[in-house]
Amino acid sequence: MSHADESPGPGLRLYRDLADWYPLLTPVGDYTEEAAFYRHLFEAHGRRRPRTLLDLGSGGGHNAAHLKASLACTLVDLAPAMLALSHRLNPECEHIQGDMRSIRLGRVFDCVLAHDAISYMASRADLQSAIATAAEHTAPGGVALFQPDFVQETFKPGTETGGSEAGGRALRYLEWRWAPEADAGTYVTDMAYLLRDETGAVEVVHDRHVMGLFSRAVWLELIAAAGLAPLAVPFEHGSYSDTGHEVFLGLRPVPGDGV
Ligand SMILES: C[S@@+](CC[C@H](N)C(=O)[O-])C[C@H]1O[C@@H](n2cnc3c(N)ncnc32)[C@H](O)[C@@H]1O
Alpha helix ranges (H) inside the chain: 22-25, 32-45, 64-67, 80-89, 124-136, 216-225
Residues 86 and 175 in one domain: no
User: What CATH number is associated with residue 233?
Assistant: 3.40.50.150
Q: What tens digit of pLDDT does each residue of 56-109 get? A: 999 999 999 999 999 999 999 999 999 999 999 999 999 999 999 999 999 999
Query: How many Å apart are CA 257 and CA 2, to the nearest integer?
Result: 38
Which is the closest atom of ligand 1 to the Cα of 28? 9
Residues 207 and 221 in one domain: no
User: What CATH number is associated with residue 202?
Assistant: 2.20.130.10
Domains: count for the chain: 2
Residues 109 and 162 in one domain: no
Number of other CB atoms surrounding residue 177 within 10 Å: 19
Q: What tens digit of pLDDT does each residue of 178-221 get? A: 998 867 799 999 999 999 999 999 999 999 999 999 999 999 99
Any ligand 1 atom below 6 A from CB of 59: yes
Residues 88 and 208 in one domain: no
Residues 206 and 219 in one domain: no
37 to 17, 34, 144, 236: CA distances (angstroms): 32, 5, 14, 8
Query: How many Å apart are CA 173 and CA 164, to the nearest integer?
Result: 9
Q: Whose CA is nearest to atom 13 of ligand 1?
A: 57
Residues 106 and 195 in one domain: no
Query: Ligand 1: which of 15, 38, 96 to mutate, most ligand atoms within 8 Å of CB?
Result: 15
**Residue 168 structural domain:** 158-212
Residues 21 and 82 in one domain: yes
68 is a domain residue: yes
* DSSP code, position 88: H
How far does residue 100's CA lie from ligand 1's centre (Å)? 9
Which is the closest atom of ligand 1 to the Cα of 79? 25
How far does residue 59's CA lie from ligand 1's centre (Å)? 4
